[in-house]
Amino acid sequence: MTRSAEAGRRLAGRGSLAAPTAGPTPPTTGAWLELAVEADVEAVEAVSEILGRVAPGGTSVEPAFELVDEGLGARLDQARPAIVRAYVPARDIASALRAAREAEAALGHLQAFGLRPIGELRTRLVDEADWADAWKTHFPVMRIGRHLVIRPTWRRHRAADGDVVIDLDPGMAFGTGLHPTTRLCLEAIEAAAARGELVGGRVLDVGCGSGILSIAAARLGARRVSGLDIDPIAIEATLANARRNRLVRRIQAREGSLPSGEPPFDLVVANLIASVLVALAGPLRDEVRPGGLVLASGIFEDREAEVAAAFEGVGLAVVERTVEGEWVALAARREGSR
């Protein structure tokens, strides 16, 4: 990432946030305070949520990866931490530093739990001209499953035979393929497609986020995909990414939750969290036709039995489980036939 000398000047050291006492006077216009935290991949979402509280433009995640295919692709390295970044307007330095201290305090509480490794908050000033596109350098082309390829819109990709390419703007919202829960869902959708369960079918994406799962389902053969999310920003992101992939006639999205008010679907995808999946077990069953499939992800391993029991209790028979690290995805089929 190219940065000016001023952009590279640290405002504060690791674990200590204070106004600079030496060096050039910080700019008061056209500058941003970058907040950066190294985090284990399992802690990325929690850290992103904390930084997002003080950053009006949201956050970006820089996965650890190594370049392959002559620099046109990348391979994720989950043994190394990702870097979560956010940007706070620095027109008023004092206000920006207060925001950073607020984030630092919240991160300290998270670190105290000791669940996953989280680094200290680092800050630096970034000139606006550098910031506008700097975050893009941290998103590589990602291959998921056998055929799916997630291509950030500014990256080139030399497609191989059979590649199913999803053009995505990871800066817009939630779901880039970095987190294991998203990858598990993508792989489950691909497996359903390989069994012929998507061709000409209808799919419901509950909690659609960036639209990455909706787009994958459409690319893999679904005739119609409906997305639901309680966040209006997610709906905007899904629709924008659908346009980017020329799928506006096959993907629709609206703000809201279950019930969808539509006829039962052939496939329902729900990348949520365990407690929500348990609470929505009945409504999820109602959204899928008899013999249809619910793909549920976002399940931490110690909550799998609880989710499986809730599904079985409402007539959703768990037929497959996939695991990545400490995360589990379940495929459950509604009892009965068409």
What digits encode the pLDDT tens for the residues 55-106? 877 788 887 776 555 444 556 777 789 899 998 988 888 999 999 999 999 9
Last residue within a domain, chosen from 102, 119, 137: 137
Cα angle value 228/234/239 (rounded, 5°): 80
- Is the bond into 259 cis (omega within 30 degrees of 0)? yes
Model confidence pLDDT, tens digit, residues 308-319: 999 999 999 999
Domain count within the chain: 2
Amino acid making up residue 44: V
Q: How far is CA 183 from CA 35, 72, 149, 166, in A?
A: 27, 20, 11, 13
Quote the domain boundaries for residue 259. 142-334
Instruction: Mark whether 226 and 316 lie in a shared domain.
Output: yes
Give the strand pairing for 122-127 and 65-68: unpaired
The pLDDT of residue 199 is above 50: yes
Element at 270 (helix H, strand E)? strand 265-271
Instruction: Mark whether 120 and 151 lie in a shared domain.
Output: no
Please state, rounded to an integer, the average pLDDT across all residues of the chain: 83
Token pair recorded at residue 60: 């970006």
Instruction: Mark whether 185 and 239 lie in a shared domain.
Output: yes
Q: Pick from 89, 86, 98: which is nearest to 44 by CA?
A: 86
Last residue within a domain, chosen from 104, 137, 170: 137
Instruction: Mark whether 233 and 181 lie in a shared domain.
Output: yes
Instruction: Mark whether 270 and 133 lie in a shared domain.
Output: no
Q: How far is CA 302 from CA 101, 327, 328, 329, in A?
A: 33, 9, 9, 12
Element at 35 (helix H, strand E)? strand 31-39
Rounded mean pLDDT, 157-173: 77
Instruction: List, in order, residues 6 or more apart from 164 with CB less than 8 Å away.
Output: 147, 148, 149, 216, 219, 220
Q: How confident is the model at residue 130 (pLDDT cuts 50, 70, 90)?
A: low
Instruction: Mark whether 175 and 259 lie in a shared domain.
Output: yes
Q: How confident is the model at residue 177 (pLDDT cuts 50, 70, 90)?
A: low
The pLDDT of residue 289 is above 50: yes
Instruction: Mark whether 202 and 321 lie in a shared domain.
Output: yes
pLDDT of residue 156: 79
Alpha carbon dihedral 278, 206, 58, 18, in 10-degree steps, equals 10
CATH number at 310 reads 3.40.50.150
Alpha carbon dihedral 23, 24, 30, 34, in 10-degree steps, equals 0
pTM score, whole prediction: 0.65
Instruction: Mark whether 120 and 169 lie in a shared domain.
Output: no
Looking at per-residue pLDDT, the higher value among 16 and 265 belongs to 265
Instruction: Mark whether 281 and 239 lie in a shared domain.
Output: yes
CATH number at 103 reads 3.30.70
Instruction: Mark whether 54 and 192 lie in a shared domain.
Output: no
- Counting residues of the chain whose pLDDT is more than 70, the rounded percentage is 81
Last residue within a domain, chosen from 137, 162, 179: 137
Model confidence pLDDT, tens digit, residues 44-58: 888 999 998 998 777
Instruction: Mark whether 116 and 224 lie in a shared domain.
Output: no
Instruction: Mark whether 114 and 218 lie in a shared domain.
Output: no
Model confidence pLDDT, tens digit, residues 245-268: 999 999 999 999 999 999 999 999
